[in-house]
Each structure stands twice: as C-alpha cells, then as structure tokens.
Amino acid sequence: MHTSALNHLLSDTEYEKFKTDGYMVVPGALEHAHCDRLEAAGDTLDARERQAHDVAADARLSVMDFIGRDPEFLELVDWPTVLPKVWGLMGWNIQIYHSHLVYTPPENDLATKKQGWHQDSGRLNVEMEYHPRPMLSLKVAYFLSDCLEDGMGNFYVVPGSQENDELIPRDQRQVDPPGATPIYARRGDAVIFDRRLWHTASPNGADITRKVLFYGYSFRWIRPRDDMSIEHYLRDCSPIRRQLLGTKVTLRGYSSPEPEDVPLKAWMEENELTADLSRWG
C-alpha cells in the first residue's frame, strides 16, 4: 500500500454525506495520463468482446470479471485516492467481489430505450428478511470519459434511497421516481455508492462513448459474484492486494480471519489509523 493513501482518508464530512445520500464523488481520483492507459486497455477489450460476441458497434457493452484481462485494471484494486474511502466506509475485512466494464456508445432512438431502476445484489434483496437490508457491499465507478450533462448515458440515482427497500414497485422500475438525479462526473473522477442505492443506467445521446469501470467491494465472507479470474496475478501481488483479490491464508480466514489473512488491518495499525480502526473494531 502506497503511503500516499494516508492523504486521502475518509473525512467525517464525507462519511456523514455518504450515509445521508448513499453515494459520493471523488474528484480527480485518476490523473489524465492514467486515464489514457486505462482507456487504451478498455478500448482493446471492448473491440475484442464486440467481435467475439457479435455485439453491434452502437450497442451498450458490459464485460464482467474484467480485472484479469489487463494489468492496467489491476492497479485500481488498491488505488490510494479511493481505497481509503472504501475502508473508511466498510472497514478492513474487505475484498473485490465483482467488476464490470461498461461502454455506452452514442445511441439512436433514445425514446425507445428503457431504464431499469434497481438495487444491486439480486437474490439478496429477495431472500433477506431484515429491513432495511444492510449495505454489505459498495461499488466504485471510475469514469474514463466526461459525463457532464444530462443525456450522456448518465448514472441516475435517488439520493438517500438506500434504506428504502420498497421505494420502487417491480412494475414501475422503467419510470423515473421522484428525486431521480443524474450523476455528473469528469474523466478521472470516481463515484462510490452503496449497493442499496436505487439507481439505473440511461441512454447516451452525446457524440462520445461513455466509458466506466466498476469495482465492487464486499465483506470477505460474501461469495464473489464473478469468477474472479485473477490467479495469474497473485504470485506477484503484495499481501494487501492479494487480500483484496479474495485470498485467505488460514483455514477459517474468511469467517474468523487471522492477521495473515487481513494484512490491510495490520497496515492500518502500523499507520495509526485509530479512527478507522475504532469504527470497525
């Protein structure tokens, strides 16, 4: 873990805003040169997947489990401007459980495009009886293109909706609810959001492709949503990065982790991050 992470800890103001709104924007999380490298890797993957699966050039493309497809994507797993915000919100017992690259080219016939309001995590929202359901995971969206006006394929949210499990009835999820708000982000910004926050994609009427990389973080005792095809990286990864990629060392390393299972905690202790440690034990 690079010590520059200590300059990007979650502030009390950010924590309270996230708990109120269900999301936060991290301006300038990536430098432009870094965006260039990530975009080049994303463009290559986009072209390969469209050809392999006969996806039209103007169709939205989502590629899950993309981290293992290029070393550039691996770098964001523990990115120092953002990971401190994640552990500030979730603690040290975390992992990557899901990733997807989403490219939304300019679209025609926008009036025919339907939105699909939802909370993340699928069956969890059906089978967990407790209300409001717990966060359990969050996502970080890294924007590789500007999304500065409405109609650019914006990510829409209902701020503060993360604790309202019944906000949108199933038969009304293609209609914007009251409070629907587009997220505006610059190239290089990151958006962190609670998995329970009601959100949707929207059509792209701009003349540029909307490009976003999503990294999902969960507690380590949750099963990954993706195949996590990252074994080829593990030998050369740092202990903290291996933790974040879902590994364990001891037999019960997920449910009752030992120090060697969670080196992120030791790093936080070494750097005297008492506020974050006291919040999560």
Does the structure show a pLDDT above 80 at 227?
yes
User: What domains are defined for the chain?
Assistant: 3-280 (2.60.120.620)
Does the structure show a pLDDT above 60 at 111?
no
Q: Could you give the percent of the chain with pLDDT greater than 70? A: 98
What number of other Cβ atoms are within 10 A of residue 66's Cβ?
A: 22
Say which residues have a Cβ less than 8 Å from residue 229's Cβ, sequence separation at least 6: 65, 68
With CA atoms as reference, report the closest residue to 86 among 160, 157, 14, 163. Answer: 14
* Per-residue confidence band for 133, with pLDDT thresholds at 50, 70 and 90: very high
Q: Is the peptide bond before 132 cis (omega within 30 degrees of 0)?
A: yes
Q: Output the pLDDT for position 108.
A: 72
Residues, the chain, total?
281
pTM (2 d.p.): 0.96
The upper half-sphere exposure of residue 73, i.e. CA atoms within 13 Å in the direction of its Cβ, equals 29
What number of other Cβ atoms are within 10 A of residue 233's Cβ?
A: 17
Burial class of residue 255 (count of CB atoms within 10 Å of its CB; 0-12, 13-18, 19+): exposed
Under 8 Å between Cβ of 158 and 197: yes
pLDDT tens-digit profile of 38-87? Answer: 999 999 999 999 999 999 998 999 999 999 999 999 999 999 999 999 99
CA distance 56 to 72: 26
Beta bridge partners of 103: 61, 211
